[in-house]
Amino acid sequence: MGSVGDVTPQRLLFDEPLTLRSGARIAGYELMVETYGRLNEDKSNAVLVCHALNASHHVAGTHAGIEKSEGWWDNLVGPGKPLDTDRFFVIGINNLGSCFGSTGPMHLNPATGRVYGKDFPVVTVQDWVDAQARVLDRFGIQQLAAVLGGSLGGMQALDWSLRYPQRMRHCIAVATAPNLSAQNIAFNEVARRAIITDPEFHDGFFYEHGVVPRRGLRVARMIGHITYLSDDVMEEKFGRQMRAAELGYSTSDIEFQIESYLRYQGDKFSEYFDANTYLLITRALDYFDPAREHGGDLSRTFASALCKYLVVSFTTDWRFSPARSREIVKALLDNKRDVFYAEIDAPHGHDAFLLEDPRYHGVLRAYFDRIAAEHERPVPGGTATVSHRLQGVAV
Amino acid sequence: MGSVGDVTPQRLLFDEPLTLRSGARIAGYELMVETYGRLNEDKSNAVLVCHALNASHHVAGTHAGIEKSEGWWDNLVGPGKPLDTDRFFVIGINNLGSCFGSTGPMHLNPATGRVYGKDFPVVTVQDWVDAQARVLDRFGIQQLAAVLGGSLGGMQALDWSLRYPQRMRHCIAVATAPNLSAQNIAFNEVARRAIITDPEFHDGFFYEHGVVPRRGLRVARMIGHITYLSDDVMEEKFGRQMRAAELGYSTSDIEFQIESYLRYQGDKFSEYFDANTYLLITRALDYFDPAREHGGDLSRTFASALCKYLVVSFTTDWRFSPARSREIVKALLDNKRDVFYAEIDAPHGHDAFLLEDPRYHGVLRAYFDRIAAEHERPVPGGTATVSHRLQGVAV
C-alpha cells in the first residue's frame, strides 16, 4: 500500500452562473480539484470524495516540498489502499464557500469590487452537489462508480443519490445523519455566536481591517473538537492528567492536559481557517434535511434513490450516532433499496471516520472490491444476493 | 404543600481570616444566608443545602415585592414539601466568590483598595465547606441532620461527609460525580476561554472600565445549557422547529427555535452573572477530586465517612452520568457504609435535579421522612435494616 505521491491541484474556472437554493446567483466561480488514479476508457471508474467542515480537495498524496502535507483521507486513498487508485479514478473538490482555493468569502465579489465577506451567499449541500456535478461534466463523466463522504461529506453523498440518481452506482455515507438534531444545531449556533460576536469579525468584513476573529474561531474549534471525540477516548487520552505535579490555583493558566490540547487545536485552526467559511459550512449542515420537502418522511424521500448504498456508523459517535444512520438504512429498506450497513465498534467518536481502524477500513475495502468486481465482470442479479447477505451485519 | 413565603436573607460578617487551599488568605468576608423553618431546641434538625454554579443562598420562598422571585429549589423546600420546613431547619449559603451578595471578585479588596477582579483568590469546594462550617458555628449547630446538594452542590455534600464526618448524620448527593471527566473539564475550559478572550474582560478588571464581557458570558452559558439538557429532551422540545415557514438563508439570523432559546438563555445570564465568578466556580468544579489525596483510590477516600448516604442520579444526565454516581456508591459499599442509591429514569438530563419529577421527589421525601423518624424516635439498630432494604434500588 503506497501513497499517490506528489499531487498538483487543478483550478477549474466556471463562467456559467450558478443559481443557489437561496435564489442568489454566483456569476462565475473557481473550484480547486485534485484527482488520483486514471480515468478508464469508458469513464466508469470515477469515485467522488466529498469533504466535511475543515477539509478540502486535497484528499490524498502530498504537495511537493511541503512536510506533513498528506491529504486528509490519505490512509484510505492510494495504490492498494481500500479506495485503490490502481483501480479507481478519485476526485476531490473543494466546495464553494470553503477556504482552500475555491471561490469563497475571502475573494473579490465582482458585483461590488469588494471582498465578499458576509455578502458571500449562503450555500447548501445541494448547491455544492450541483457545482460538483459540473466538475464531472467538465471531465466528461456521465456516471460515477461511487460518491463517498463522511459526516457533512456523507450528506453530500446522500444528496447526490437523491438528486442525481442516474449519475452514480453507489453511495457510501459514513458517520452521517439525515439531518442535524437540535443538539447538533445548538453546538453550531454557539460556535457561530463566538465568531460573530468577536469584535474582530467586523460584521464579516474583517479582511478590510487586516484582522482575523481568532478568538471566536478558537472557541468554535474547541467546541467542535469536544463533539468529535468520544467521552471515553478523551478520558483515556487525557483523563485528569495535570500539567504540573501540584495545582497552580489559576483560572487562566493551563492546569489539565485536556486544556492544553484544546487550546492548541483552537490556535492552529484559527491560523488557517476562514471565519465566514465556518459560518457558511455550519449553516449548510443545519439546513441539510432532504426529508423536509417530503413532509419529514424519510422513506418517501428515498423513493427516488436508484443506486446501492453502504452506510457506516461508529458506536461511540455521539455527534452523528448510529441511531441516525439506522434512520437512513430503514428509509432505504422501506424502498427495497440495496443497502449494506456496518456499525463499527470503535472508541474514537465521530473522528473515527478519519482514522485507520482495521474493521472500518476492512468494510470499505470489501465494498470497493465489490464495486470493482461489478464493473469488471457484471453478473446480472448477482450483486443483490451478495448485498442482502451483508445487510444489517454489525461489524 | 406551601411556600415558605417571603424570606429575608441575612448578611453574616466573618472577621477571622480564612486560609484557602491555595494558601491564600481572605482577611474578612461576608456570606449571604437564608434559613427556613425553625431550629429545634437541641439544634439537631438543620439541613444545609449547597448550591451549584449559578444559584445562591436563596433556596426557597420569595423576596417581598419581587415577582418570580421563588428560590431555585422552591419545588423541594417548604411546608409539606419533600424537604419539609415544618420539620427541618433549612440553611442556604451563597458561597464565597459567588455573585449574589457574598464576598466575591466584584467587591473591594481591602489589601489593595481596588476591586478584587482577577485577584480574587481561587476557591475550592473545600474552602466553601470550611466557610459553611463557620456559619453553622455561628448558629451553634454542632451536627447537621443532613447536607444536601445537586451537581456542584453534591460535591460539597460529599466533601462535608469526608472532612466533617462528625458534624452530619446524612449526606444527600444528587446528579454529581466524584470528580470531573476530561470532557467535563473541556467544556469548562471552552467557556472560560470565551470569557477570558472577550476584549471586555480586561484581564478580569472590567469593573473599572464600566463594561461587562457579555459576549463571553453568553457563549459560556450557551455551552453550559447544551450540557444541562439531554439530547432527547432538546429534540422533543425544539427538534428542527423553524422560526419562519421558509428558510431565511442567513448565517447570523435565527432560523431554528433552539437558536432562539439558547440566545435568550445567554443574554439573560450575561445580565446578572459575574464573569470572574464563572471562572472561579468552573475551576472549583475542575479541581474537586477528593480521591487525589488517596492516590486516586475512591474507596480509600471514603474510609473516613461516618454518615449515611443517599445518592441520586438521572438516566439521561450525560454531564454527570449515573456511572459516575455508581462510582461513589461502590466506594461507600466498599467501606460498608449505609447507602441508598436511586437511579431515576427521567428525560431531562442534568437539569432533572432541579425539576419536580414525582419519582425523584418521592425518593427525597421518603429519605427525609426517614431522617425525621430517626430523629424523633431513634430505634437502635433499626435504621440499618431499612437502608439495606433500599440499597441499590433503581427507581
Query: pLDDT for B99-114, tens place per residue?
Result: 999 999 999 998 899 9
Distance from CA of A150 to the nearest CA of B (A): 22
Q: Is any Cβ of chain A less than 8 angstroms from the Cβ of B221? A: no
Q: What is the CATH number of the domain that holds B346?
A: 3.40.50.1820
Please check whether residue B2 lies inside any domain of the structure: no
Question: B108 and B147, same structural domain?
Answer: yes
End of a domain among A230, A262, A287?
A287
- Chain A residue with CA closest to B184: the answer is A231
Distance from CA of A181 to the nearest CA of B (A): 6
- Report pLDDT for B9: 98
| Cβ <8 Å between A251 and B223 | no
Q: Residue B47 CA to chain centroid, in angstroms?
A: 14
Cβ distance of B196 and A252 shorter than 8 Å: yes
pLDDT tens-place string over residues A83-98: 999 999 999 999 999 9
Nearest-CA distance from B8 to chain A in Å? 33
Closest CB to B186 among A198, A234, A289: A234
A237 touches chain B (CB under 8 A): yes
Structural domain includes residue A385 = no
The binding site of A comprises: 221, 351
Q: What is the dihedral of CA A254, A259, A265, A268, to 10 degrees?
A: -10
- Residue A202: its chain B contacts at CB < 8 A? none
Residue among B215, B251, B258 minimizing CB distance to A185: B258
pTM: 0.94
Residue B263 forms contact with A (CB below 8 Å): yes
In a domain, B394, yes or no: no
Report the alpha-carbon distance of residue B17 to residue B14 in Å, rounded. 8
Nearest CB to A258; choose among B185, B263, B287: B185
The whole-number average pLDDT for the span B58-85 is: 97
Is B21 an interface residue toward A (CB < 8 Å)? yes
Angstrom distance (rounded) from CA B259 to CA B222: 10
Q: Are residues B160 and B57 in the same domain?
A: yes
Around B219, how many Cα atoms within 13 Å sit in the side-chain half-sphere? Answer: 34
Q: Which of A56, A151, A270, A313 is catalytic?
A: A151
Q: Under an 8 A CB cutoff, do B183 and A287 touch? A: no
Residue B382 has pLDDT above 90, yes or no: no
B54-59: average pLDDT: 97
Secondary structure (H, E, C), chain B:
CCCCCECCCEEEEECCCEECCCCCEECCEEEEEEEECCCCCCCCCEEEEECCCCCCCCCCCECCCCCCCCCCCCCCEECCCCEECCCCEEEEECCCCCCCCCCCCCCEECCCCEECHHHCCCCCHHHHHHHHHHHHHHHCCCCEEEEEEECHHHHHHHHHHHHCHHHEEEEEEECCCCCCCHHHHHHHHHHHHHHHCCHHHHHHCHHHHCCCCHHHHHHHHHHHHHHHCCHHHHHHHCCCCECCCCCCCCCCCCCEHHHHHHHHHHHHHHHHCCHHHHHHHHHHHHHCCHHHHHCCCHHHHHHHCCCEEEEEEECCCCCCCHHHHHHHHHHHHHCCCCEEEEEECCCCHHHHHHCCCHHHHHHHHHHHHHHHHHHHCCCCCHHHHHHHHHCCCCC
Whole-number pLDDT of residue A388: 35
A190 and B222 in contact by Cβ < 8 A? yes
Do B233 and B360 have their domain in common?
A: no
Confidence of residue B239 (pLDDT cuts 50, 70, 90): very high
Q: How far apart are CA A120 and CA A38, in angstroms?
A: 35
Please indicate, yes or no, if residue B3 is contained in any of the structural domains. Answer: no
Is the pLDDT confidence value at B123 over 70? yes
From chain A, the residues in CB contact with B196 under 8 A are 251-252
Is residue A252 flagged as an active site residue?
no
The tens digit of pLDDT for each residue in A43-92 reads: 999 999 999 999 999 999 999 999 999 999 999 999 999 999 999 999 99
Strands A308-314 and A168-174: parallel
Measured between CA atoms, how close is A182 to chain B, in angstroms?
A: 5
B189-197 mean pLDDT:
98
Cβ burial of A203 (10 Å; 0-12, 13-18, 19+) is: exposed
A353 close to A150: Cβ distance less than 8 angstroms: yes
**CA-based nearest residue to B35, from B93, B84, B81:** B93
Q: Evaluate whether residue B319 is within a structural domain.
A: yes
- Dihedral, B225, B231, B234, B239 alpha carbons, nearest 10: 130
pLDDT, average across residues A321-347: 97
Contacts of residue B317, Cβ cutoff 8 Å, sequence gap at least 6: B175, B230, B349, B350, B352, B353
Closest-CA residue in chain A for B265? A190
pLDDT-derived band at B1, boundaries 50, 70, 90: confident
pLDDT in tens, B279-293: 999 999 999 999 999
Mean pLDDT, all residues of chain B: 94
What type of residue sits at position B349? G
Q: How far apart are CA A79 and CA A86, in angstroms?
A: 5
- Least CA distance to B217: which residue of chain A? A194
439544634: which residue's cell? B43
Instruction: Note whether B183 contacts A226, CB cutoff 8 Å.
Output: yes
- Check if the beta carbon of residue A327 is closer than 8 Å to that of residue A178: yes
Q: Which residue of B has its CA nearest to A216?
A: B194
A210 in the same domain as A274: yes
Which is nearest to B173 in space by CA: B206, B137, B149, B140? B149
With cut-offs at 50, 70 and 90, classify the pLDDT of residue B381: very low
- Please check whether residues B339 and B279 belong to one and the same domain: no
| Grid cell listed for A39 | 480515468
Residues of chain A with Cβ-Cβ distance to B239 below 8 Å are: 181-182
CA distance B279 to B276: 5
On whether any CB of chain A is under 8 Å from the CB of B125, the answer is: no
Q: Which CA distances in Å does A39 have to A50, A77, A92, A145, B280?
A: 18, 15, 14, 11, 60
Of B237, B271, B287, which closes a domain? Answer: B287
Beta bridge partners of A36: A90
Q: Is B183 on the interface with A (CB under 8 A)?
A: yes
Query: How many independent structural domains does chain B possess?
Result: 2
Residue B108 and residue B192 share a domain: no
- Percentage of chain A exceeding pLDDT 70: 95
Last-in-domain residue among B287, B306, B336: B287
Question: Which of these, B72, B61, B123, B67, lies nearest to B98 by C-alpha position?
Answer: B123
CA angle at residue B81 from B78 to B85, to 5 degrees? 40
Q: What is the 3-state secondary structure (H, E, C) of chain A?
A: CCCCCECCCEEEEECCCEECCCCCEECCEEEEEEEECCCCCCCCCEEEEECCCCCCCCCCCECCCCCCCCCCCCCCEECCCCEECCCCEEEEECCCCCCCCCCCCCCEECCCCEECHHHCCCCCHHHHHHHHHHHHHHHCCCCEEEEEEECHHHHHHHHHHHHCHHHEEEEEEECCCCCCCHHHHHHHHHHHHHHHCCHHHHHHCHHHHCCCCHHHHHHHHHHHHHHHCCHHHHHHHCCCCECCCCCCCCCCCCCEHHHHHHHHHHHHHHHHCCHHHHHHHHHHHHHCCHHHHHCCCHHHHHHHCCCEEEEEEECCCCCCCHHHHHHHHHHHHHCCCCEEEEEECCCCHHHHHHCCCHHHHHHHHHHHHHHHHHHHCCCCCHHHHHHHHHCCCCC
Cα–Cα dist A261/A319, whole Å:
20
Query: Is B280 in contact with B20 (CB distance < 8 Å)?
Result: no
**CB atoms B190 and A226 under 8 Å:** yes
Residues 163-182 of B with CB under 8 A from A: 179-182
The string of pLDDT tens digits covering residues A276-293 is 999 999 999 999 999 999
| Any domain includes A240 | yes
At A296, the amino acid letter reads: G
Reference A332, options A291, A360, A377; nearest CA is A291
The residues pairing with B310 across neighbouring beta strands, listed in sequence order, are B172, B340
**Residues A170-206: pLDDT tens digits?**
999 999 999 999 999 999 999 999 999 999 999 999 9
Is the CB of residue B283 less than 8 Å away from at least one CB of chain A? yes
Q: What is the pLDDT of residues A138-158, one digit of tens each?
A: 999 999 999 999 999 999 999
Greatest CA separation found in chain A?
A: 70
8 A C-beta contact, residue B144 and residue B89? no
- A163 shares its domain with A306: yes
Does residue B99 sit in the same domain as residue B139? Answer: yes
What type of residue sits at position B223? I
Positions of B annotated as catalytic residues are 151, 317, 350
Q: Is the predicted pLDDT of residue A240 greater than 80, yes or no?
A: yes
Which among B354, B383, B314 is positioned nearest to B150, based on CA atoms? Answer: B354
Is the pLDDT at A104 greater than 60? The verdict is yes
- What's the length of chain B? 395
> Which of B205, B251, B277, B316 to mutate to test binding with chain A, by most A CBs within 10 Å of its CB?
B251
Examine the domain organization and report whether A220 and A336 are in the same domain.
no
pLDDT at A27 over 50: yes
pLDDT grade, residue B388 (50/70/90)? very low
Distance from CA of A347 to the nearest CA of B (A): 15
User: What confidence tier does A1 reach under pLDDT thresholds 50, 70, 90?
Assistant: confident
Residue A65 and residue A76 in one domain: yes
Q: Give the model confidence (pLDDT) of B242-276 as tens digits.
A: 999 999 999 999 999 999 999 999 999 999 999 99
- Buried (b) or exposed (e) across A255-269, using 16+ Cβ within 10 A? bbbbbebbbebbeeb
In a domain, B393, yes or no: no
Contact B121 A262 (CB under 8 A): no
Does residue A3 sit within a domain?
no
Rounded CA-CA distance A25/A110 in Å is: 12
Chain B positions in Cβ-Cβ contact with residue A226 (cut-off 8 Å): 183, 186-187, 190
> In this complex, is the C-beta atom of B326 within 8 Å of any C-beta atom belonging to chain A?
no
CB atoms B24 and A219 under 8 Å: no
Quick one: how far is CA A31 from the chain centroid?
16
Range of the domain at B350: 10-179+292-376
Residue B152's Cβ-count burial label (10 Å; 0-12, 13-18, 19+) is: buried
Q: Hey, of A219, A292, A293, which one would you mutate to test binding to chain B, going by the most B CBs within 10 A of its CB?
A: A219
Rounded to an integer, what distance in angstroms lies between the CA atom of residue A294 and that of residue A292? 5
Q: Is ipTM over 0.90?
A: yes
Q: Is the pLDDT of residue B151 over 70?
A: yes
pLDDT band for B133, please (50, 70, 90 cuts): very high
B150 in the same domain as B104 = yes
Determine the Cα–Cα distance for residues B88 and B36; give it in Å rounded to an integer: 8
Q: What is the CATH number of the domain that holds B216?
A: 1.10.1740.110
Inter-chain contact B286–A187, Cβ cutoff 8 Å?
no
Helix orientation angle between B125-139 and B152-163, rounded to the nearest 10 degrees? 70
Q: Are residues B161 and B192 in the same domain?
A: no
pLDDT of B391: 41
Burial class (CB in 10 A: 0-12, 13-18, 19+), A204: buried
